[in-house]
Amino acid sequence: MRKALALCACLLALSGPVLAADPDEMLKDPAQEARAEKIGQGLRCLVCQSESIENSNADLARDLRVIVRERVKAGDSDRQVVGYVVARYGDYVLLKPPFKARTLVLWGGPFALLLGALGVLVVFFRRRSAAGSPPPLTPEEIRRLDALLKDSGNS
């Protein structure tokens, strides 16, 4: 039993991400194929949406894999291949949205919130330390406190 578990663990550790590319759609040149895979992993499958075209089994994803490889084979740079797909499907097809004016809130929003929260914290702690510790008790107050404590002790 333990052996079987260990074997399972080893096999799991060895297995890489499963890619949907069929051997027959892969490029012969390993360097080009590696580039195509990398590009494809950044492109959204329009059918399943949260998968990349490299991971998806949808027909459209397969077609886009083939088209990406055609472009790579034709000598396009990575940027040109991505541009080709974006020209047809828009920025939406990119799994990592580009940084530009329209996506400023998307990229900057979390940092703005973080800065805002830090600001609130700083103001809060400053105010607290500015208020300082309360003034020491006067002799009169000490006497009254003692009396109260004695009182409660007797009952």
Partner 1 sequence: MRRLLYLLPVLVLGVLALFFMKGLEMDPHEIPSVLLNTPAPAINLAALPGHDHGLTTDDLKGRVSVVDIFGSWCVSCAQEHPTLLAIKETGIVPIYGIDWRDDPVKGAEWLKKNGDPYERVGLDPAPGHASVDFGVTGAPESFIVDKGGIIRWKHIGPITPEVWETELLPKIRELQK
Backbone angles phi, psi at 106, to 5 degrees: -60, -50
Tell which one of 19, 26, 67, 94 touches partner 1 (CB under 8 A): 67
| Residue 123 burial (C-beta neighbours within 10 Å; 0-12, 13-18, 19+) | exposed
Please, which of residues 2-61 interact with partner 1 by CB under 8 A?
46-47, 49, 59-60
Region from 1-9, 13-21, 30-38, 85-93 binding partner 1, contact rule CB under 8 A? 85-93
Count of residues that bind partner 1 according to CB under 8 A = 17
Our finding on whether 94 is near partner 1 (CB under 8 A) is no
CB neighbours of residue 82 within 10 Å: 19
Tell which one of 63, 108, 122, 126 touches partner 1 (CB under 8 A): 63
Query: Cβ of residue 54: shortest distance to partner 1, in angstroms?
Result: 15
Distances (CA, A) of 104 to 44, 79, 110, 112, 153: 21, 22, 11, 11, 66
Residue position matching structure tokens 């003034």? 135
Our finding on whether 64 is near partner 1 (CB under 8 A) is yes
